[in-house]
Structure 1
Amino acid sequence: MSALDEFYQWITTSQNLIEPHDIFCDLRTLNPSPLANNAVYNGNRRLGFIYQHLCTQAFVNSPNYQVLAEEIQLSEQGRTLGAIDLIVRNRQEQRNEHWEVAIKFYLLHNGNWFGPNAHDQLETKLPRMLTHQLAMSNTSQFQQQHPELEVATHHLLMQGRLYINPFNSEPTPTHCLEYPLNSSQISGHWCHYSQAHQIQETLYELPKIRWATGKELNATIVEPNPERFIHAQTESGQFWFVVPDVWPGRNA
């Protein structure tokens, strides 16, 4: 099975970082068919673009949905307002749905969840997706540009993994803002470079397309680097981020 196939399978079977409720959903009910045997991806190689493409394919391959539009750019008087990820038709419910999708990896530090790039934080990303990105299908600009795509419901799919530092004594939050975190997704470990000698297993570096699914058979052994973060997995399957000692810097 290719890395693309494994990633697609992971997306269609994994849970949301936030406990399922109201707009927080996942794709496990889509029952999509597998990717075509000759499926390839030739777009932007950034992980988020590959992820959104595969989410779209899951809807395309579901008997219960039809993709009406994707990556709708909205603007007003030449100013870009943003982009809507997906508008899909729920054939069973006979309604149009707006879906925003994101894959995120966050590390707990001093009570907050930081991305490996510490400028990205769950505490700011989540409300932006809820109050800005999902709200764009309610704007007059969207309704004027796409009157045929009247949206009935809104859904946020945020998948990935949450990481805690086993070498620090810090309580793990149960919520982000007022939203309950899905405890099953708090499954990764992280540490600073100066703590990495305490990791008792060999680390195998993960290319980005395997950040979610894990290492392949011929994965490359990696030593922590004081100048950059690494994302790796051990032989036993544990996911690890090892970050420079200066991380997260002034964002802490």
Structure 2
Amino acid sequence: MPTPQTDLQAPTETFQQQFHRRWSSLRDPHVRALAWLLDAPDLLDAHASRWDGRIASIGALSEMDITWLQALDKNPRELYLLINAQPSARLGRYAEKLLTFYLQYTGRLIAHNVQVRNGPNETIGEFDFLVRDEAQSGAVHWEFATKFYLLESHRDQMQADAFVGPNLADSLGAKMNKIMQQQLMLSAHPAAAQYLPQPVTRAQALVKGWLFYGETAERAPVPAALGISAQHCRGFWCEVSALQAGDSDRYLVLPRLEWLAPARAAAGQTLSGAQLREAVQLLFNETLAPVMIAVCDVEDDVALERLRGFLVPDDWRGKAAQRVRHAVVQI
């Protein structure tokens, strides 16, 4: 199986295994997703010069935060009320609700989803989050994103636009260009002031997610110039035909709203390699979108994700290469 962590020189413990060890007491799937959102490495390096200080980070969780998450796992009613209000199948919207819940708990939230209009018929943009800065001197604008990009692996030189979304609709380069050049500039628009409860002292992007690597790029270091965190969450991608499943391997197909935290499920929910290929082919018959899977360890009737990856249709690689060739975005 083409994964980043299958040779003897790879880390002895994957991020997933670290997560399961750190959060072994959590059982509720939404609380586990929240724990991942708060505790997972940032996708981008806040100290990289290319971002000019405009990358936000939640930072290390306090012991109070950890105790709060453990208590929330035992009684997640308030979290469910927020998640189930105006339910959405969009992963980004789900992640926004999780972050909103945490910011409300910490008292840092000033406002979220604040639309800026220039007259009754023109929407200029929207502030994802307005949060209190540590000095309590004003509002910080956070543009929030949870992103999943696959590195189109036939590139001679790694670049931001070579990381493309599973549906090929965007790329890491295009997304960060939009955030940096448009969305983080919203508070400077003349129409924004009337919608701001406090002046914005700075604007930053808070970006979480996973990057997925094909077999020809899985060991390639990510150039520091890209501004990607060296600790970012990683996975693999390959065509279904390239998946090398052993007889004892067990898998889960992960629905979109379960893409955040490493999976935890009953062992009876897992699939064999043959069952996985059949399930993925049925999904490809409906849509040609890549399918997220988890490779699991099973112990005491519980399956825990060890690795994750995207299985892509046979023509996805060619389409991704074409998408990258036509990308002209520069950050």
Among candidates 82, 89, 104, match of residue 60 of structure 1: 104
Please give the alpha-carbon distance, in whole angstroms, between the structure 2 residues aligned to 1:59 and 1:202.
37
> How large is the RMSD of aligned CA atoms in angstroms?
2.3
Question: Which one has a bigger Cα radius of gyration?
Answer: 2
In the TM superposition, what is the alpha-carbon distance from 1:130 to its structure 2 partner?
A: 1.2
Contact 2:138 2:198 in 1 (8 A): no
Mapping of 1:9-20 within 5 angstroms? 9-20=35-46
Q: Which runs of 5+ in 2 are unaligned?
A: 1-26, 48-52, 298-305, 325-331
Q: CA deviation at 1:128?
A: 0.5
Q: Which amino acid aligns with 1:188?
A: G
Change (3 A) 1:57 1:142: same
1:44 aligns with 2:88: yes
State the Cα distance separating 1:162 from its structure 2 match: 0.7
Residue 189 (structure 1) aligned with residue 236 (structure 2): yes
Distance of 2:139 and 2:217 partners within structure 1: 46
Aligned length: 246
TM-score when normalising by structure 2:
0.68
* Equivalences for residues 89-104 of structure 1 within 5 A: 89-90=132-133, 92-104=135-147
1:162 corresponds, among 208, 211, 215, to 211
1:207 corresponding residue in structure 2: 255
- Give the drift of 1:152: 0.5
Per the alignment, do residues 148 and 202 of structure 1 end up closer, same or farther by CA in structure 2, a change over 3 Å counting? Answer: closer
Which fold has the larger relative contact order, with Cα–Cα distance below 8 Å and residues 6 or more apart in sequence?
2
Taking structure 1 as reference, are residues 4 and 27 closer, same or farther at Cα in structure 2, changes over 3 Å only?
Answer: same
Q: Assess, with a 3 A threshold, how the Cα gap between structure 1 residues 50 and 66 changes in structure 2: closer, same or farther.
A: same
Identity, % of aligned positions:
22
Deviation, structure 1 residue 149: 2.1
- CA–CA distance in 2 between the matches of 1:8 and 1:168? 30
The 2-side partners of 1:116 and 1:166 are apart by: 16
* Letter aligned with residue 71 of structure 1: N
Partner Cα distance (1:167, 1:3) in 2: 34
Q: Which amino acid aligns with 2:323?
A: N
TM-aligned CA distance change 1:126 to 1:189, over 3 Å:
same
Relative distance call for 1:231 and 1:108 in structure 2 (3 A) is same
Report the CA distance shift for 1:85/1:147 in structure 2 as closer, same or farther (over 3 A): closer
Q: Which has the higher helix share?
A: 2
Tell me how far 1:76 sits from its aligned partner: 2.2
Moved more, 157-166 or 219-228: 219-228
Aligned residue identity for 1:251: R
Q: Equivalents in 1 of 2:261, 2:165: separation in Å? A: 18
- Which amino acid is 1:138 matched to? A
Structure 1: which 5+ runs fail to align? Answer: none
Q: What aligned pairs does 1:1-252 form with structure 2 within 5 A after superposition?
A: 1-21=27-47, 22-29=53-60, 31=62, 32=65, 33-34=68-69, 35=72, 37-38=76-77, 39-40=79-80, 41-42=83-84, 43-62=87-106, 65-77=107-119, 78-90=121-133, 92-109=135-152, 110=155, 111=158, 112-143=162-193, 145-166=194-215, 171-175=220-224, 178-185=225-232, 187-196=234-243, 198-200=244-246, 201-218=249-266, 219-221=269-271, 222-223=276-277, 224-225=280-281, 227=285, 228=288, 229-236=290-297, 237-247=306-316, 249=319, 250-252=322-324
Calculate the TM-score normalised by the size of structure 1: 0.87
Q: CA deviation at 1:153?
A: 1.5
Query: Contact between 1:4 and 1:209, CA under 8 Å: does it hold in 2?
Result: no
Deviation string for 1:169-212 (max 9, x for gaps)? Answer: 8845325xx5421122152111123322x355443111223212
Aligned to 2:110, the other structure's residue is in SS state strand
Amino acid of the structure 1 residue aligned with 2:307: Q
Alignment partners' CA distance in 1, 2:262 and 2:242:
22
The alpha carbon displacement at 1:139 in A equals 1.2
Q: Confirm or deny: 8 A CA contact 1:15 1:26 kept in the other structure.
A: no
Q: What CA deviation, in whole Å up to 9, does each residue of 1:116-160 have, x standing for no partner?
A: 1111210100110111111112211111x2253210022211101
